[in-house]
Amino acid sequence: MSKITTARLQAMKQAGEKIAMITAYDATFAALFEQAGVHAILIGDSLGMVLQGESSTLGVTVDNMAYHTKSVANGCEKAFIVADMPFMSYSTPEQACANAATLMRAGAHMVKLEGGDWLADTVQQLTRQGVPVCGHLGLTPQSVHVFGGFKLQGREAEQAEQIKHHAKALEAAGIQLLVLECVPSRLAADISRMLSIPVIGIGAGADTDGQVLVMQDALGLTTGYVPKFTKNFLADGGNVKAAIETYVAEVAAGRFPGPEHSFN
C-alpha cells in the first residue's frame, strides 16, 4: 500500500474504490491495522468510552487526544491519520486553530469536527491555516444530551433535508472528508452521490464511499450494548491482523455492512 493522502482518498472515491477506516489509540494496533491494509486510522474521542470507561465522549481532553494521536502516528508509515477534536475544543475559530495545531503537531493529517453549517467559518479558518478537516453529521456523540441518547438521525424527511443542507455547507466551506453516523441507508447514499468528497459511513449502509468502525467493536471486545451496525470480524477465529484484513476485504467488496447492519 502506498502512502495515503487526501488526494489518494479523493481518487478512490472517483474510481469507486471503498475506503476502510478503523479507530486505533496506540502504536501497536495502528501498525497492525496498517499492515492489514486499512487506508485510514481515526483516533476517536470514543477513547473516553472504550479506554477510560466513561458513559460518553464528553470528558475527553485535547491532551488525551494529542497523547493517543502521537502514539498512533509512531506506529504508522502509510495510513492516513484523522484525529477527533474533543467536546468544546472548537467553539470559536481561534480556539479550533490552536487545538488543531496541537493535534497536527502530534502527528494527525486531518482533524474531525462534529456539527453543521455553523462550523463553516471554523472550517474555512482551519483550511486557510493548512489544517485539513473532516466533518461529522448524523449522530454526533458530543451532542448526545441534545439528542436524548444515541439515536438514529435523519429518519424524518425534514431532518434528512437538514442533514443534506449541512453536508453541502460543510463541503462548500472546505472539508475534504465527511463521516455520516447512524442515518438511514438511503439518506447516506444520496449524500455520497451529492458530494464530490469521500463520505465514510458508520451505521449508514453500504453505499457510502467507505466505512469506519471502532476497533473494539470490530474485534468483539465490546462489553454490554453492541450497536446494530457493528460486526465481530474476529469471531471466526484466526488473529487480529486476519480479522482486520477480512474487514478491509468485505468493505472493498461491498459485503460489509450488510442489511442487518443498516437502517432503513
Task: Spell out the residues 6+ positions from residue 149 whose beta carbon is closer than 8 angstroms to its own.
Answer: none
Taking 90 as the threshold, does the pLDDT of residue 18 lie above it?
yes
Q: Which residue among the candidates 34, 171, 181, 245 is catalytic per the annotation?
A: 181
Q: What is the pLDDT of residues 84-122, one digit of tens each?
A: 999 999 999 999 999 999 999 999 999 999 999 999 999
Q: What is the pLDDT of residues 213-244, one digit of tens each?
A: 999 999 999 887 788 899 999 998 789 999 99
Q: What is the pLDDT of residue 147?
A: 52
The CA distances from residue 5 to 2, 31, 46, 81, 163, in Å, are 9, 17, 24, 9, 27
Q: What is the pLDDT of residue 159?
A: 94
On whether the pTM is more than 0.85, the answer is yes
**Looking at residue 115, which CATH number applies to its domain?**
3.20.20.60
Closest CA to 244 of 170, 222, 146, 252: 252
Q: What is the pLDDT of residue 148?
A: 57
Mean pLDDT of all residues belonging to the chain? 95
Indicate the annotated binding residues: 45-46, 84, 112, 114
Closest CA to 69 of 84, 57, 56, 87: 84
The answer as to whether 1 is a domain residue is no
Is 17 among the catalytic positions?
Answer: no
Mean pLDDT of the 7-35 span: 98
| DSSP SS3 for 135 | strand
Q: What is the pLDDT of residues 149-206, one digit of tens each?
A: 557 888 999 999 999 999 999 999 999 999 999 999 999 999 999 999 999 999 999 9
Q: With the C-alpha atoms ordered 187, 228, 245, 50, is the resulting torsion angle positive or negative?
A: positive
The answer as to whether 91 is a domain residue is yes
Domain total in the chain:
1
Gap between the Cα atoms of 224 and 243, Å rounded: 21
Q: Calculate the CA dihedral of residues 197, 181, 61, 99 and round it to 10 degrees.
A: 20
To the nearest 5 percent, what fractions of the chain are helix, strand and coil? 45, 15, 40
Domain that holds residue 56: 6-261
| DSSP SS3 for 113 | strand
What percent of the chain is modeled with pLDDT above 90?
87
Indicate the annotated binding residues for 3-methyl-2-oxobutanoate: 45-46, 84, 112
> Which of these ranges, 68-77, 127-136, 148-157, 198-207, has the smallest mean pLDDT?
148-157
Gap between the Cα atoms of 56 and 115, Å rounded: 17
Mean pLDDT of the 55-80 span: 97
Gap between the Cα atoms of 86 and 108, Å rounded: 14
Indicate the annotated binding residues for Mg(2+): 45, 84, 114
The answer as to whether 103 is a domain residue is yes
The answer as to whether 111 is a domain residue is yes
**Cell of residue 146, nine digits:** 441534545
Neighbours of 26 (CB within 10 A): 15
Q: What is the pLDDT of residue 223?
A: 80
Please report the DSSP string for 225-263 in residue order: ---TT---TTTTSS-HHHHHHHHHHHHHHT-SS-GGGS-
